[in-house]
Amino acid sequence: MNEGAPGNDLEVLLDTETLDRRIAELGREISADYRGRPLRLVGILKGSWVFMASLARRLELEVTVDFLGVASYERSTEPTGAVRITKDLDHSIEGLDVLVVEDILDTGRTFEYILGVLSAHRPRSLKTVTLLDKPSRRVRPVKADYVGFTVPDVFVVGYGLDYAQRFRHLPDVRIFRPA
């Protein structure tokens, strides 16, 4: 990797090998739970796309994908508390087994909102997987069905996660401390 590339000076929290190993484990667990049933992955944009692509390749199932865009951070390291949909689903999920793919479960406000929106579409089942879980910041009583890693209360970027649209390109998860 280019030494002078943006983000290379940030502390690595989870390296690529650790991420790959855990995502493979999640893939095996989810495949076993849904064996013989098609699964619709619903990725939450924009942060989940890298994780979702990695996870989808590890699933031994018939998988279709869709995306739901939501915004809650704007240009800050703190969630605004207001959640808005920026992109709706392209296809119906009624009667389907749905797995929501999220990059990080933080306060739980966005997570709770997403689950409410998707439940109204009457899927057969609705479960969630998050790459990162930050329970120390939880203000809503929600839990993911599948968790990649529990992380400390630090702002993280990389592997699809961003700060003001920057650092998504990093191949691992790093700690970002704004100046």
Taking only the tens place, the pLDDT of each residue in 135-157 is: 998 999 899 999 999 999 999 99
Q: According to the model, what pLDDT value does residue 79 have? A: 54
pLDDT (average), residues 19-48: 97
Tell me the per-residue pLDDT of 68-90, one tens digit each, with 9 for 90 and over.
998 775 555 555 567 778 898 99
pLDDT of 62 higher than 70: yes
Class of domain 11-174: alpha beta
Strand ranges (E), the chain: 11-14, 39-45, 63-71, 84-87, 97-105, 125-133, 146-150, 156-157, 173-175
Is residue 20 annotated as part of the catalytic site, yes or no?
no
Q: What is the DSSP letter of 65?
A: E
Is residue 30 within 8 Å of residue 146, measured between CB atoms?
Answer: yes
Q: According to the model, what pLDDT value does residue 65 have? A: 97
* pTM confidence score: 0.89
pLDDT (average), residues 105-113: 91
pLDDT (average), residues 127-131: 98
Q: According to the model, what pLDDT value does residue 83 have? A: 77
pLDDT (average), residues 81-100: 90
Is residue 129 within 8 Å of residue 55, measured between CB atoms?
Answer: yes
Domain map (residue ranges) of the chain = 11-174
What tokens does 86 get?
């920026």
Rg from Cα positions in the chain: 16
pLDDT of 4 higher than 60: no
Is residue 139 within 8 Å of residue 109, measured between CB atoms?
Answer: yes
15, 20, 88, 106: which is the annotated catalytic residue? 106
pLDDT of 44 higher than 70: yes
Q: What are phi and psi of 65, to 5 degrees?
A: -130, 155
- How is the chain split among helix, strand and coil, in percent rounded to 5? 25, 30, 45
